[in-house]
Structure 1
Amino acid sequence: MSKAPAANGDASTAKPLLELRDLQVFYGAIQALKGIDVTVREGEIVTLLGANGAGKTTTLRTISGLLTPRAGEIRYGGERIDGVPAHHVVSLGIGQSPEGRRVFPMMTVTDNLLMGAYRFKKVPQSDLDRVFELFPRLKERRSQLAGTLSGGEQQMLAIGRAMMGRPRLLLLDEPSMGLAPLIVAQIFSIIKEINAGGTTVLLVEQNAAQALKLSDRAYVLETGSVLVSGTGEQLLADPRVREAYLGEGAGG
């Protein structure tokens, strides 16, 4: 698959693939998203940063159709998808690797991957080969039960399973959580490779330094609102971001 023209290049000229406008989401009486605006252009890597409870996972779950917004719009490819059932959202080309990986522990690696392609009547071997090329370790363990894999291998499997749906937009929720630094570096390298292959990525990540270096643009969420947004480079240099997420003093 050829690289989308916007990825890590002149993204400002690319068409919006995903647009969130005044998105408001509630859990009962508690408002989790307070009218956020987010744009992801074709070919970009865009990151959502923020502390626990900021609304990052809620945003992804709402895009995926697992939550229904009370107000606002979600547009994908120019069409509104807010309120569309989750299984229909997948069929539109939006895949998600959830927080906590959530692999099927008593199924093999291969069967987990095939679950990601459930919407296709027939899965060509080339789809599996593509995932095994991205994740050679999964190929080595293709007959192994997913529950016996290491945390890093399960994360690779969760991303690979999402890729089996042939997503145009890939949602990644905390892919580096709980992983050793060496594995984190591998995961981020693979995300970059997936993006270079033409897949747009919306990333939720606590590892701010790694994520911002990888991202075309990013948004910082705070208690359900967008606090600041900009390019990855701009946010790496922003004193507020450096102090809150990079462990540096505001003057550092």
Structure 2
Amino acid sequence: MLLELRDVSVHYGKIRALHGISIEVNEGEIVTLIGANGAGKSTTLKTISGLRPLSSGSVWFEGADISTMAGHKRVVAGISQSPEGRGIFPGMSVHENLLMGAYARKDDFSAELEEAYELFPRLKERQHQAAGTMSGGEQQMVAIGRALMAKPKVLLLDEPSMGLAPKLVQQIFSIIEEINRRGTTVLLVEQNAQQALKLAHRAYVLETGEVVKSAPAAELLDDPQVRAAYLGGDLGVAGGASAPPVPLEKGTAVDGEETQP
């Protein structure tokens, strides 16, 4: 097991954002978290990165409990995140942004820099351009390339397709698949549930801070409840109209067990 969350709860003040969730990510996998806005997906990634403290539970990485490890040390250990909204440094060049991803490294990172430019040729063409003047898709490439500069064992991607044109979405997902093929484990949070499930090996469905369903991604693509709630699926409503999105009920089987109401 490369990464594991065990019964993790997280609060924002008095509001509980995560309710005892447990998630596993094996080495070499692409695992995706899907769910509506406010379900706790981004909070989960922030918790793994060390940006949100645990209220209870634990986070394990490569067999070690890292629940109290500082965020910058988690980067050194092999956990790197491309955040929601990209978070680039707009006044710095593309090249300088990429170098920021290697800030904690003491070894030679020239191979990772070359790989970033290989994965994203557009960035090499514009390496001296201010990142803030790039298009949304190009900025997303900068954010992912910067995260790869840390030479992560697991790459956390938070909404990489947000705000992108369909053609660019396809390009970003193809690159994520290639990153995984080259040996990097990926944990993906994505509003585009259909694309995410087509890409991933396994998936978790989150609702109001709880895991309500877990299965191989291909199974969830054909799951009637998931299709109705997140994929615009047709549940056989009279006249052929699609059913409106509905929440998954608490008590849905999760890895052979049931969640509590």
What TM-score do you get using the length of structure 2 for normalisation?
Answer: 0.89
Question: What corresponds to 2:217 in structure 1?
Answer: 232
Superposition pairs of residues 12-161 of structure 1, within 5 angstroms: 16-121=1-106, 123-161=108-146
Partner AA of 2:101 in structure 1 = G
* Whole-angstrom distance in 2 between the partners of 1:249 and 1:113: 44
| Deviation beyond 6 Å, 4+ runs, structure 1 | none
Superposition pairs of residues 149-228 of structure 1, within 5 angstroms: 149-228=134-213
Shift of 1:120: 1.6
* Whole-angstrom distance in 2 between the partners of 1:125 and 1:89: 21
Task: Flag structure 2 segments of 5+ consecutive residues without an equivalent.
Answer: 237-241, 243-261
Partner AA of 2:227 in structure 1 = R
* Whole-angstrom distance in 1 between the partners of 2:145 and 2:109: 15
CA RMSD of aligned residues (A): 0.9
Task: Flag structure 1 segments of 5+ consecutive residues without an equivalent.
Answer: 1-15
Secondary structure of residue in 2 paired with 1:19: strand
Partner AA of 1:209 in structure 2 = Q
Shift of 1:84: 1.1
* Whole-angstrom distance in 1 between the partners of 2:123 and 2:92: 13
Cα gap change, 1:123/1:105 in structure 2, threshold over 3 Å: closer, same or farther? farther
Question: What corresponds to 1:11 in structure 2?
Answer: none
* Whole-angstrom distance in 2 between the partners of 1:240 and 1:211: 17
Number of matched pairs: 237
Residue 146 of structure 1 contacts residue 154 of structure 1 at CA under 8 Å; is this kept in 2? yes
- Answer 1 or 2: higher relative contact order, Cα 8 Å, separation at least 6: 1
* Whole-angstrom distance in 1 between the partners of 2:179 and 2:101: 16
Identity of aligned residues (%): 63
Structure number with bigger Rg: 2
Partner AA of 1:216 in structure 2 = H
